[in-house]
A and B are shown apart, each in its own frame.
Chain A
């Protein structure tokens, strides 16, 4: 059976995407990391990130280590262009009129569009997302390798390691998709290899969605704990917004692909029976 124009287009698209991802992962990313490490000087580190302390007694009360926004001049001095940041989203609807929200110092953050430093001894900020007015970020600033190594382990895992693993998984899915469409254009639709690849892609999508959901839960937990540690929200009335579960779209796509794989299995069975009918 001749492959349709759409199938051929998707085959070419996935081929280009796959090699683009390889270029990004194995060439551009390492080059970027090397250039960054070479351009920074560990000894000139200005503000160091300290590990977060244990939660204090009376958790949730405003802690004295939290400080108000710095004056404009001082703030600009502390924001050199060489900063890199690791962001964790705070999915909180910052609405002062919300009866259940007892965010103790959010009013301070609402007054300024600029990042607010939450701790005078470490480079931890709360910054506002540029587009969505209610979205904020827990921002860990660092500007060289030495700073980076002082970041809390959960921050490194959630903001650096996990995205890299996600990219690797995306490359594997793209590669499987490329092979699937190669097979569809060259050998036809109802072949055992195609069914097998489709099933693998379905399970990879399911794994991807599940990991997205897990990471979302872990981020939620970490951000909540951190905000409590800094006395920015009060327990137990802290309520961060929990919308559609993260990864639900990917899980749905995975389920659809697995269903399609079942249809292909049945099609393969029908084809084999047809061929063996004399």
Chain B
């Protein structure tokens, strides 16, 4: 999927563990893991808001659009 979730990068910058972030955001470890590994199909605005608040960042710091090779080839 061309949307990359950079939660792990922000966690490393803030030196925050997975358990601590899950507790602050109010989601389970399993769901946070799904988000971190890029398996999630969608993210709610309220989850995104809670993540930005906990990690003190902007949505753009957490999500990134990367063109795939196929899309580049079609250009």
Q: Which A residues are closer than 8 A to B by beta carbons?
A: 272-273, 276-278
Contact = CB atoms under 8 A, between A and B. Distances in A.
B27 interface: yes
Interface in B12-52: 27, 31-32, 34-35, 39-44, 47
Contact of B43 (A272, A273, A278): A278
B39 A277 contact: no
12 contacts: A273-B41, A273-B42, A276-B34, A276-B39, A276-B40, A277-B42, A278-B27, A278-B31, A278-B34, A278-B40, A278-B42, A278-B44
A44 to B, nearest CB: 77
A272 B47 CA distance: 18
Contacts, number: 23
A143 B32 CA distance: 76
Interface residues of B, number: 12
Nearest to B28: A278
* Most B-side CB within 10 Å, residue of A272, A273, A277, A278: A278
Contacts of A278: 27, 31-32, 34-35, 40, 42-44, 47
Given A276-B34, A278-B40, A278-B42, 12 more contacts: A276-B39, A276-B41, A276-B42, A277-B42, A277-B43, A277-B44, A278-B27, A278-B32, A278-B34, A278-B35, A278-B43, A278-B44
A253 B10 CA distance: 56
B41 to A, nearest CB: 4
Nearest to B43: A278
A273 B35 CA distance: 13
B25 to A, nearest CB: 10
Contacts of A276: 34, 39-42
A152 B31 CA distance: 69
A278 B22 CA distance: 12
Contacts of A273: 41-42
Contacts of A277: 40-44
A276 B43 CA distance: 8
Contacts of B31: 278
